Amino acid sequence: MKIGNINIDIPIFLAPMAGVTDYPFRVLCKEQGASVVYSEFVSAHGIIRENAKTWHMIEFTDFERPIGIQIFGDSPEVMSRAARMVVDKFSPDILDINYGCPVPKVTKRGAGSAALRDLCLMDDITAAVVESVPEVPVTVKMRAGWDANSIVVPEVGPRLEKLGIKAMALHPRTTKQSYTGEADWSLIKALKESTSLPVIGNGDVKSPDGVLRMMEETGCDGVMVGRSALGNPWFFRDAIALFKGETVPPEPSIVDRVSHCRRHFDHMVDWHGERIGTNLMRKHFGWYIRGFNGASPYRKALVSAPDREAMVAILDSIS
């Protein structure tokens, strides 16, 4: 598939996830073959204020290319200015607009998936961003609608295509569903049938073979993987093997899991600093240290450990 002028041979993407897809996590997934990775969503208001923490969320390395930076906001003017600033300062390969976040602190301001309640505002924001960065492909990640009574698929597909969007990713749950219930893959198929643009499916891809199943059932051009990659960057390696018709490698051993967890931890401290990196790593311990006998006590000890030294000692004791 292509997004603008970007050729993507194996269309398996790392989804943007708030509080997760920072540089350390993106690099580990990229190493395992993720074709395109995305930043966690970044506030357009924070960008135009040149907030240091916001800038740090956008930073990336050339190893991660092609990479998409995802922004969110409730104003066409602010989103336009933010998009221009991101492109001028960081030169990402893709700029993505978040119309999918269901979190109340975002939607109550009219941003994220709240835009799906006002498609005219969505049109205005989209047009403003596309016009502000003509040299970079702009994409959209969205939900199916605000609730079960206001599904906007496939109405939105042709609208966004006319505005100059280069690809759309759909998580086929509503805002009200959040992450409960089941993702309705039939809506991905409906979106694909409504537009000539590339459509990327997302939601409930729980195993590597689910990537192929989503493509077969919906006709989507690519698949975006989110929660299934948590503590499991090997998901991409395995899905790519299936995509190529190759044998899936054996599952990582406990030693492999701990080794990757240690590398992730080191990256977190290097990127965020020891205090912040150590605190942010606690949730990742819960995702990595699972799936083997005796994992629970180690996981609990890591999550509650007081500092980096104690965490490293616990990891070194796992064999």
> To which residue do tokens 């990196």 refer?
277
Whether residue 154 has a cis bond before it, omega within 30° of 0: yes
The alpha-carbon radius of gyration of the chain (Å, integer) is 19
Is 29 labeled as catalytic in the residue annotation? no
CA distance 278 to 308: 6
Residue from 83, 120, 93 nearest 38 by CA: 93
Cross-strand pairs, 22? none
Question: What is the H or E stretch that residue 199 is in?
Answer: strand 199-202
In the three-class reduction of DSSP (H, G, I as helix; E, B as strand; rest coil), residue 144 is classed as strand
Which residues, 6 or more positions from 240, have their beta carbon under 8 angstroms from its beta carbon? 10, 12, 33
Please state, in angstroms and rounded to a whole number, the distance separating the CA atoms of residues 319 and 309.
Answer: 18
The active-site residue out of 101, 120, 220, 261 is: 101
- Write out the catalytic residue numbers: 101
